[in-house]
Amino acid sequence: MAIQDIYPTALRLLGRPVLVVGGGPVAERRAKGLLDAGAKVTVVAPVATEAVRGLASSGLLTWEQREYRSSDIDGVWFVQTATGTAAVDTQVAADAEAQRIWCVNASDHEASAAWTPAVAVVDDVKIAINAGGDPRRAMALRNAVATALETGDLPLRRHRKPGTAGSVALVGGGPGDSGLITVRGRRLLGQADVVVADRLGPRDLLKELAPDVRVIEVGKTPGHHPVPQLEINRILVEEALKGNRVVRLKGGDPYVLGRGGEEAEFCRQNGVEVEVVSGVTSAISVPAAAGIPVTHRGLAKGFSVVTGHEELSEVPARPDHTVVLLMGVAQLRDSAAELAGSGLPLDTPVGIVENGYLPDQRVTIGTLGTIADQAEAVGVANPAVIVIGDVVRVSPFAPPHFKTADYSTITPNRPRVRSN
């Protein structure tokens, strides 16, 4: 049998009797697949695997513990033979052929009337691949296609919408580089009918959407919110109730200073199914892009994330407790003064990372006492993440005199000795 002789189709076996002849590992796999399809499975074999015996004892299939008889195929819709004995498999196939019943002969794929493809299920899509009678080749291709669907590299979006309400997914896209979105987020974006997009996040991915996917721009900048949050909430619910799959594509993580909690709650209050997909938060990832860990053995065991100088009075004013400021460029001078007034030494290192992970990333490093002047001199602008604390010393962008010799893992947990 050549691959050109195959007519691909799918059998609906729900509630229909089928026969599996054989009780070994191959027969076991085929029986499980048939059960998944809803078939009424009978296994005929003198011996069977533990799994087949378990399925029989639980009433999920019928096991006839004996040799095959030609009468076993009477009244069945489909036959799978996998005894491991060519003569028996050939006889089963011949009996099925005589009664015009489709039969898969595991012993001889060339002579088999039907082939079982390599199968995977992604969402509500079932992938079935035949590869010229080469099972391992088929499995490799199946796995590759399934992975491409899972990651969003192949379109999984529905074009015939079900007659039910749509859904909303709050997807954290990370700090902006398209490679930093999660696999789950990328997959949901590929399924979307409507994308409600922020100014930040993986904007390049919007170019990959199908032409009929609507993109609604709701991006905000500090102090300028052209689309108020209540309007964003309304858009999400309205589009979902039309039956659309809606993705709210946000920068960073939806639940880290992203108002994702408000959006999720509004959707639930209005009867809309909502899913939250965590993203790589810029509070941690953008400093990492400049080689700055928010915690480091021997330097810092904790960190705080804040959005403005008002909250700074409540965070520990110590160089060994990292402070991460988001959306803090405009208030940088006031924030530095607030921390200094709380007792943080003026020589505490400070790093500013603009456009983290993007081609125009820029790193500015100074101290609590100098950083505001430095930022103004070079024109630091949002999006930027500000990191305050001794962890900045680890950055490869830090000047040589910032380096200390006592934060290696060779002598862990030794307090850093500050020079006066």
- Reply yes or no on whether 334 is catalytic: no
Give Dmax over CA atoms of the chain in angstroms: 96
d(CA 397, CA 387): 13
Which is catalytic among the residues 177, 193, 198, 390?
198
d(CA 350, CA 371): 7
Angle between helices 135-150 and 183-191 (to 10 degrees): 80
Q: How far is CA 394 from the centre of its chain?
A: 31
Count Cβ atoms below 10 Å from residue 252 Cβ, excluding itself. 30
Contact 166, 199 (CB under 8 A): no
Token output for 285: 């990832």
- Reply yes or no on whether 220 is catalytic: yes
Which is catalytic among the residues 40, 108, 220, 334?
220
Q: Are strands 321-326 and 273-277 parallel, antiparallel or unpaired?
A: unpaired
Token output for 4: 């050109």
Q: Which of 360, 200, 202 is nearest to 289 (CA)?
A: 360
Q: What are phi and psi of 9, to 5 degrees?
A: -155, 180
At 134, which amino acid appears? D
d(CA 380, CA 372): 10
Residues for the chain: how many in total? 420
The DSSP letter of residue 296 is B
d(CA 202, CA 197): 10
Helix (H, G, I), strand (E, B) or coil at 27: helix
Token output for 61: 């299939």
Q: How far is CA 348 from the centre of its chain?
A: 38
Catalytic residue positions? 198, 220
